[in-house]
């Protein structure tokens, strides 16, 4: 059985308020250092847990924030990991739950609130603009109220392909078709250069993806701008299987820049800046009891050229070399293959 604050107070002959002030880590605490150490020792030894729901009902802060996201391994997971570290410095704890549907996401938000969360961060890309009046604590939309300016990032990638490498026929490849911010950025760059944007080529639930890539190559497409580094990596392997060299025959760019594919030219999400921004906003919404959505604050990402777009690559031989037409796994073969080709040319 877990010990209570009342029991700790009785054991040390002090008030419950003194115990609460120490366990809640309040900035103004008049308890002596000796008593603090005893309180913390007993709390840890006997597994003290605050009753978050009770604190919430009394209108007191629980210093708990919930989060519902699409994936722990994606960009949202990376942002929340950094955000959790920054909130910890402010004495807040972040608890995240993965969701796969809108109804599940709404349930998870309500569960966090019922458990006493002071605020809940939710995936704007999954849940969109939900009815905030249905919930009793401030909500914060990731990729809605704060996040990456995907449109600006995609535009910078397309502009690089057009301006630096002279590509005029560029295709945008994404997991799903539709007017996403990344596709809008691609269209912005194409139209600004007087070029006609092509429809999005989707990968998910598209059994004709391979045939469609071949058709676009036959029609003169010389560059592929993908919506993610994982998509770019798979596309490069597929192009290689067709005998299409990257970047000599077709350039490829990615997005999100996880660091797993350093030789893929990619747009890097400013994860640390986004986390810092999210921390400031959620604490402001809690302290000022802001229930309405705030104006979006999106941070512009940076495009990093690399060898997949035709620029000079970083000297990292632990990743598949895209100049090779055969073995993309063997580092030695790739390095030798590139060297021989360059000498021949």
Most confident of 49-63, 122-136, 196-210: 196-210
At 95, is the secondary structure helix, strand, or coil? strand
Residue 34 sits in the same domain as residue 133: no
Residue 231 sits in the same domain as residue 319: yes
Contact 264, 233 (CB under 8 A): yes
Residue 180 sits in the same domain as residue 236: yes
Residue 102 sits in the same domain as residue 86: yes
Give 222-238 pLDDT, tens digit per residue: 999 999 988 999 899 99
Within a domain: 54: no
Give 165-218 pLDDT, tens digit per residue: 999 999 999 988 778 899 999 999 999 999 999 999 999 888 999 999 999 999
Q: ω into residue 247 within 30 of 0, thus cis?
A: yes
Residue 177 sits in the same domain as residue 213: yes
Within a domain: 194: yes
254 pLDDT higher than 70: yes
133 pLDDT higher than 90: no
Angstrom distance (rounded) from CA 111 to CA 109: 5
Q: What is the pLDDT of residue 252?
A: 95
Contact 193, 162 (CB under 8 A): yes
Give the sheet arrangement for strand 265-268, strand by strand.
Answer: 201-202, 170-174, 223-226, 251-256, 265-268, 302-304
At 150, is the secondary structure helix, strand, or coil? helix
- Whole-angstrom CA distances from 231 to 127, 159, 227, 237, 238 are 24, 20, 7, 10, 11
Within a domain: 167: yes
Residue 254 sits in the same domain as residue 340: yes
44 pLDDT higher than 90: no
Within a domain: 81: yes
Residue 313 sits in the same domain as residue 331: yes
Within a domain: 55: no
Within a domain: 56: no
Alpha helices in the chain (DSSP H): 5-12, 16-23, 33-45, 52-57, 75-88, 102-114, 124-127, 150-165, 181-192, 209-218, 229-241, 271-287, 331-344
Within a domain: 207: yes
Residue 208 sits in the same domain as residue 292: no
Of 9-13, 187-191, 333-337, which range is least confident?
Answer: 333-337
pTM: 0.71
What proportion of the chain, given as a percentage, has pLDDT over 70? 83
Q: What is the pLDDT of residue 324?
A: 42
Confidence label for 2 from pLDDT (cuts 50, 70 and 90): confident
Angstrom distance (rounded) from CA 36 to CA 232: 54
Residue 140 sits in the same domain as residue 183: no
Contact 136, 120 (CB under 8 A): no
Q: What is the pLDDT of residue 320?
A: 45
Which long-range contacts (C-beta less than 8 Å, at least 24 apart) are formed by 36-39? Answer: 38/12, 39/8, 39/12
Q: What is the pLDDT of residue 329?
A: 37
Most confident of 87-91, 213-217, 309-313: 213-217
Confidence label for 338 from pLDDT (cuts 50, 70 and 90): very low
Contact 131, 125 (CB under 8 A): no
Domain that holds residue 10: 5-49
Burial (CB < 10 A; 0-12, 13-18, 19+), residue 137, is buried
Within a domain: 179: yes
Number of structural domains the chain divides into: 3
Residue 180 sits in the same domain as residue 191: yes
Residue 256 sits in the same domain as residue 326: yes
Residue 176 maps to which CATH number?
A: 3.40.50.2300
Residue 85 sits in the same domain as residue 173: no
Q: What is the pLDDT of residue 341?
A: 36
């Amino acid at each position: 059985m877990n010990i209570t604050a009342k029991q700790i107070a009785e054991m040390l002959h002090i008030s419950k308020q003194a115990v609460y002030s120490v366990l809640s880590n309040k900035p103004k605490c008049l308890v002596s250092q000796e008593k603090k150490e005893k309180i913390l020792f007993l709390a840890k030894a006997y597994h003290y847990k605050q009753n978050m729901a009770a604190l919430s009902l009394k209108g007191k802060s629980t210093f708990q924030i919930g989060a519902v996201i699409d994936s722990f391994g994606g960009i949202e997971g990376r942002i929340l990991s950094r955000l959790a570290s920054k909130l910890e410095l402010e004495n807040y704890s972040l608890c995240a739950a993965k969701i796969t549907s809108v109804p599940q996401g709404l349930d998870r938000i309500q569960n966090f609130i019922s458990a006493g969360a002071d605020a809940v961060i939710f995936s704007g890309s999954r849940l969109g603009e939900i009815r905030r009046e249905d919930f009793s604590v401030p909500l914060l939309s990731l990729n809605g109220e704060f996040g990456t300016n995907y449109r600006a990032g995609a535009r910078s990638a397309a502009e690089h392909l057009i301006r630096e490498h002279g590509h005029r026929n560029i295709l945008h490849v994404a997991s799903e078709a539709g007017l996403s911010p990344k596709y809008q950025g691609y269209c912005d760059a194409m139209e600004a250069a007087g070029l006609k944007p092509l429809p999005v080529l989707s990968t998910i639930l598209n059994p004709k993806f391979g045939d469609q890539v071949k058709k676009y190559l036959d029609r003169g497409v010389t560059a592929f701008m993908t919506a993610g580094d994982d998509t770019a990596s798979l596309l490069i392997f597929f192009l290689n299987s067709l005998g299409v060299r990257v970047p000599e025959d077709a350039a490829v760019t990615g997005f999100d820049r996880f660091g797993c594919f350093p030789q893929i030219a990619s747009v890097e999400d400013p994860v640390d800046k986004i986390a810092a921004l999210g921390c400031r906003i959620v604490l402001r919404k809690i302290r000022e009891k802001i229930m309405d959505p705030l104006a979006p604050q999106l941070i512009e990402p940076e495009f990093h050229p690399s060898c997949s777009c035709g620029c000079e690559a970083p000297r990292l031989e632990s990743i598949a070399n895209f100049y090779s037409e055969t073995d993309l796994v063997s580092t030695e073969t790739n390095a030798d293959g590139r060297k021989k080709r360059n000498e021949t040319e």
